[in-house]
Amino acid sequence: MISTIYIEEEIAEHPRSRAILERFPDAEIIACERYGEIFNRKSQNFRLQKKKPALILAKKHKGLVLSTPKQYGIGAEHNYYFSHMLNCLYDCRYCFLQGMFQSAHYVLFVNYEDFIDEMQSVLNQHNNDPVHFFSGYDCDSLALEPVTHFTTTFLPFFEKNPQSLLELRTKSTQTRSLLKREPIKNCVIAFSFTPDKIATALEHKAPPVEKRLQAIIDLQNAGWTIGLRFDPLIYTRDYIEEYSTLFNTLFSKLNPDLVHSVSLGGFRLPKDYYRKLEKLYPDEKLFSSPLIEENNSIGYPADIRNDMLTFCKNIILQHVPLEKFYPCHETI
């Protein structure tokens, strides 16, 4: 699956780097000074590179843990996000990463312990207040778990710090490492969904809805708390039917008591990212959706957006209480 690995000289001997290199004995190994020499170079084509992404092993020096935008959160006052990886195994056509990054390569920051130290500082800063940490903004939290062993390293930290909460945002069914251990209360495995037909059209290489659902059921049965994320909501003529089917399927099979939170938000992208995506995929139907530009963002016009959000909210609230419902406040 991975045939080229770039590795920063500084972390070439890091035990995590060595273990990953051993896992890919046939990969071409290329030394580099800083991952940005490869990842941030202009003139790269994300779409072409996505056909054969390389893995870049790097060290994250700054900005290991960052505050989330104000409108994001699932119940705490203090919210932070962190990315042990950049880019994703999947190829979802609506994903902002394609607009944000020059490269489709996967960057893995192997200095997990520095992330954990930074999280400890954040916790200290907030005394004993609840603090939420979100993983999965710039990558899928679990998709490369067999390679990264991300949860194996990070979960013990959260286990020791019950005032904190970790959200693992994912579409992946790579849940083996979670199922092998005892669940912890302050970790939410948050699965993203779009209706089956929309997922088939837009979420390339991602596990089908049915498999994601099975992964959730297995996690719930093992005692893990899960989250449901309907963000982005995607408009199509028969969205009422499609989303009704999705909600009915999910809520008929899940244990609502083990659903920590449900969030939703309409499809929207910063204008610059959207324009880049449009150029990369001119033949993509999503970009001929009824979209408008407002406040430097591209998204659905207010009537479509509000209709969709209201419709989905009403169904969701039939299944989960209001205090578990977190609509993302739209920026447009």
Partner 1 sequence: MITGPGKLNTAAAVTYHHARIGTQPADCWLNIGVAGHKTIPVGEARLINKITDKQSNATWYPQIIFKHNVSCAALITLDKPSATYQSSLFDMEASAFYQMAIRLGTAEMIHCLKVISDNASQTMSSVNASDVKQMITAQLETINDLVENLRTFSHELALINAEPEHYQTIIEQWHFTQSERRQLFRLLRQWTTRFSDQEVLSTIDRHKTAQAIIRTLEDQMKNTDFVIHD
Residues 281-300 that bind partner 1 (CB under 8 A): 281-290
Q: Report if residue 331 touches partner 1, rule: CB under 8 A.
A: no
Based on CB atoms, which residue is closest to partner 1, 73 or 195? 195
Assess 41 for contact with partner 1 (CB under 8 A).
Answer: yes
By CB under 8 A, is residue 101 in contact with partner 1? Answer: no
The interface region with partner 1, picked from 49-57, 77-85, 172-180, 310-318 by CB under 8 A, is 49-57
Candidates 15-23, 63-71, 216-224, 280-288: pick the segment binding partner 1 (CB under 8 A): 280-288
Binding residue (CB under 8 A) for partner 1 from 5, 7, 20, 38: 38
Taking CB under 8 A as the rule, does residue 44 contact partner 1? yes
Q: Which stretch binds partner 1 (CB under 8 A): 192-200, 213-221, 246-254, 256-264?
A: 192-200
Closer to partner 1 by Cβ: residue 262 or 304 = 304
What's the min distance (Å) between Cβ of 184 and partner 1?
Answer: 38
Torsion 232-107-154-111 (CA) sign = negative
Looking at beta carbons only, is 105 or 324 nearer to partner 1?
105
Site string for partner 1, 205-244 (x = CB under 8 A): -----------------------------xxxxx------
Q: Which residues of 126-149 are buried (b: 16+ CB within 10 A; e: fewer)?
A: eeeebbbbbbbbbbbbbbbbebbe
To partner 1, the closest distance from the beta carbon of 250 in angstroms equals: 19
Least distance in angstroms from the C-beta of 36 to partner 1:
11
Q: Which positions from 146 to 185 touch partner 1 by CB under 8 A, shown as an x/- string?
A: ----------------------------------------
Chain mean position to CA 319:
24
Closest by Cα among 96, 94, 82 to 134 = 82
Does 43 bind partner 1 (CB under 8 A)? Our answer is yes
State in angstroms the smallest separation of the CB of 304 from partner 1. 9
The answer to whether residue 200 forms part of the interface with partner 1 (CB under 8 A) is yes
Residue 294 burial class via C-beta count within 10 angstroms: exposed 0-12, middle 13-18, buried 19 and up? middle
Binds partner 1 (CB under 8 A): choice among 12, 19, 30, 317: 30
3-state secondary structure the chain: CCCEEEEEHHHCCCHHHHHHHHHCCCCEEEEECCCHHHHCCCCCCHHHHCCCCCEEEECCCCCCCEECCCCCCCCCCEEEEECCEECCCCEECCCCHHHHCCCCCEEEECCHHHHHHHHHHHHHHCCCCCEEEEECCCCCCCCCHHHHCHHHHHHHHHHHCCCEEEEEEECCCCCHHHHCCCCCCCEEEEEECCCHHHHHHHEECCCCHHHHHHHHHHHHHCCCEEEEEEEEECCCCCHHHHHHHHHHHHHHHCCHHHEEEEEEEECEEEHHHHHHHHHHCCCCHHHHCCCEEECCEEECCHHHHHHHHHHHHHHHHHHCCHHHEEECCCCC
Among 202, 213, 228, 262, binds partner 1 (CB under 8 A): 202
| Residue 212, both tokens | 């994601």
- Minimum Å gap between C-beta 285 and partner 1 is 5
* 1, 19, 23, 28: which one binds partner 1 (CB under 8 A): 28
State the residues that interact with partner 1 by CB under 8 A: 4, 6, 28, 30-33, 37-38, 41, 43-45, 47-49, 51-52, 197-198, 200-202, 234-238, 278-290
